[in-house]
Amino acid sequence: MNTKNVLARSLFAGLVVVAILLTTIPVSAQGSLIPISDVTGGSGIFVLRGAAKGPPKRVLPSRASRSKEQRIESTRKVSRQYTTLAKVAPRRTRTEAVNPNDSRLANVAMMDKTAASRLFSGVGEYYLDRDNYNEAINFFRESLTLDAANAISQTGLSEALALKGNELLVKDSFPVARTFFEEALKYNAKNAPAFYGLAEVLTEMGKEDEAASNYELALANDKDLSEIYTPLGALYFQKGDVAKADQYLTKAVAASPTDPQAHYYFGLVRYSQNNNDAALAAFKKSASLDASNPEVAFYTGSTLLRLNNNTDAVAEFTKATTLRPKYFEAWMGLGEAQYELGNYPKAVEAYDKAAKLRNTNYEAFNNLGDAYRQMTPPNYNQAESNYNLAAMFIQRQPNFNKEDAADMYSKAAFSIAKQCEINIKQAKACRWDAAVKVLEEADKLSTSGVDAANLGWAYYNAARSDIANGNTQAARPKLEKAKLALQKVANGNATFVSGPMLNLGMALTDLGEYTSAVDVLNKVVKKEPKWAFALNELGLAYRGAAKYSDAAKAFKEATDKDKTFAQAYYNLGEAHYKNGNLGEARKALEQLRKMGAGNLAAKLDVTTNGQLRQGS
């Protein structure tokens, strides 16, 4: 093992920071290559899935079902519409209303039962006209006791029972209401309000298919009850039948243009169809009719996110969380909008509230980790902690996505590595063994090759940390593990292979396997001709093999591509010196001095035993 490479890369961190500014090197939709270095010589390329910033994980409510309050409001509207229509055009054959103070009622005991039954029917009609359903039911029942074949009393009782049932629904008495609807249908199998009310009870019970069937029977028996379009359309949307939901909700907004609930569910249909402009218009219309619905504000914000109007989305999500402070999905949406705007501290606040509301939700912890990682300055310790929590919680889900879990572990390792860059400057130890541990977990879960590449990178850096601390005995097994992991990826067909191959070449150099290192690194520079740091690594491999002329050529190419690459100038000067070319070595020394790289210039002077200085 050649520990001299630690010195040869001692300012590699400076190279990466200056030449690449720690930006990502995009390779494909599969991943981004991110240089990571520290002044101990630990360095290399980390493969991050997707873009470095990455989109947050979005969370929507699991089911857009109507609330009990919405169902009660629908019942009020349907009952009101039915009674209004029935007064203009009765939905059954009626008899003349009879005032309960009518003198004939005093002699009802002496009347013919059929005549008495008709008289009681009239009193039932009187009370029904005045929405006194209890008395109407009593008189219609008494009428049928006298004459069970009285058709007017049968349908009258059915209507009174249905309307009484709907009155009970408004009072949130669903189980009792059901008995009224079922009895109503015994007396009149075409009773639209009874079918509607039964549908509402079945919706409350979660029996969606039966509920939809009863809503449709209500409309089939009374096509004028347009207020049913909204609950029926909403139910079909909840069932996932967007085509039928669209059919009924299109009718609903046309028939009831001032119904906020109709516009809200119509907006959900358009949102599900990715017709975002129409969805936004519908949600805004709903909000203009009723500003108290937090779901409307939430979906308005979600639609604005899709339209990249993140500023207005922040306002809508804020409104949703104001209306409902424990609205988990709205806090997640607010975090996403702030994240997309680059307001990472605000994103942290929102995601933190979401995580506290659902303290086992992996999306919240993953997004919180992302927001901490993107802050200026980044908080990598908090990022790591939240990624580890996210990885733990996602694995508690049945049939969880293993690649997502691996990605969370991977980002935890990335955060450990980036914290290492900070720790080195503060004379604190790096935690490469912790990075190895989480990447081992990631590699168990993933089949993409990304985590095998990063695991090799972590083994390599853990080994270099041991070398820097003088523990070469502990380093070699880690370098061997790095080699095996990186060879596995390099021999595959991963589109991000350049980064792992660079890491493999560096590991081979440190293992003293210079011929193999040269072969691998030549492939890297051929694939990535702009990577000056890869040329520097190739030069180090040649130098290890005592091929100083080839080493000097590689270092010269590196400095030609990046004229601020001080470490490569040092290596170039040393290679020329080893090759006996003191004039070119002297030029490298002078270049270091011009660049203000005094430490490297002094180091090169010592390495060459002062011969370059003596000849100058």
Residues 256-262, mean pLDDT to the nearest whole number: 95
pLDDT at 104 over 80: yes
How do residues 314-334 score in pLDDT, each as one tens digit? Answer: 999 999 999 999 999 999 999
pLDDT at 2 over 90: no
pLDDT at 108 over 90: no
- Strand 45-49 to 31-35 pairing: antiparallel
Residue 510 pLDDT grade (very low, low, confident, very high; cuts 50, 70, 90)? very high
Q: How open is the CA angle 512-515-516, to the nearest 5 degrees?
A: 85
What is the Cα 544 distance to its own chain's centre?
48
3-state secondary structure 551-568: HHHHHHHHHHHCCCCHHH
Indicate the pTM of the whole model: 0.82
Min mean pLDDT across 41-45, 373-377, 576-580, 581-585 is at 41-45
pLDDT at 9 over 60: no
How do residues 548-568 score in pLDDT, each as one tens digit? Answer: 999 999 999 999 999 999 999
Residue 604 near residue 573, CB atoms below 8 Å = yes
Residues 443-471, mean pLDDT to the nearest whole number: 88
CATH 3.10.50.40 fits 88-284, yes or no: no
Phi and psi torsions of 35, nearest 5°: -70, 135
Is the preceding omega at residue 377 within 30 degrees of 0, hence cis? yes
DSSP bridge partners of 28: 31
How do residues 342-395 score in pLDDT, each as one tens digit? Answer: 999 999 999 999 999 999 999 999 999 999 999 999 999 999 999 999 999 999
DSSP bridge partners of 25: 33
Residues 528-533, mean pLDDT to the nearest whole number: 91
Min mean pLDDT across 23-37, 42-56, 232-246, 270-284 is at 23-37
3-state secondary structure 306-327: HCCCHHHHHHHHHHHHHHCCCC
Q: How many CA atoms lie within 13 A of 491 on its CB side?
A: 6
pLDDT of residue 216: 97
Residue 12 pLDDT grade (very low, low, confident, very high; cuts 50, 70, 90)? very low
Place of tokens 């980044």: 378
Q: What is the secondary structure of 459-474 as a DSSP string?
A: HHHHHHHHHHTT-HHH
pLDDT of residue 25: 37
Please report, as a single letter, which amino acid is at residue 76. R
- Identical fold for domains 4-59+412-614 and 88-284, yes or no, is yes
How do residues 69-102 score in pLDDT, each as one tens digit? Answer: 888 889 999 999 999 999 899 999 999 999 999 9
Residues 445-465, mean pLDDT to the nearest whole number: 88
3-state secondary structure 220-276: HHCCCCHHHHHHHHHHHHHHCCHHHHHHHHHHHHHHCCCCHHHHHHHHHHHHHCCCH
How do residues 398-440 score in pLDDT, each as one tens digit? Answer: 999 999 999 999 999 999 988 887 887 787 888 999 999 999 9
Pick the CATH number of 4-59+412-614 from 1.10.10.10, 1.10.760.10, 1.25.40.80, 1.25.40.10: 1.25.40.10
pLDDT at 305 over 60: yes
Rounded Cα distance between 117 and 152, Å, is 10
Helix (H, G, I), strand (E, B) or coil at 529: coil
Place of tokens 């509402």: 200
pLDDT at 52 over 70: no
User: Who has greater pLDDT, 82 or 25?
Assistant: 82
Min mean pLDDT across 31-40, 195-204, 350-359, 597-606 is at 31-40
Mean pLDDT of the chain: 89
For residue 429 the two structure tokens come to 């130890």
DSSP state of 103: G
Residue 121 pLDDT grade (very low, low, confident, very high; cuts 50, 70, 90)? very high
Domain spans, the chain: 4-59+412-614, 88-284
H runs (alpha helix) in 47-150: 68-88, 113-129, 133-146
Say what percent of the chain tops pLDDT 90: 74
Phi and psi torsions of 11, nearest 5°: -115, 25
Please report, as a single letter, which amino acid is at residue 535. L
pLDDT at 461 over 60: yes
Q: How open is the CA angle 458-460-461, to the nearest 5 degrees?
A: 65
Rounded Cα distance between 236 and 247, Å, is 10
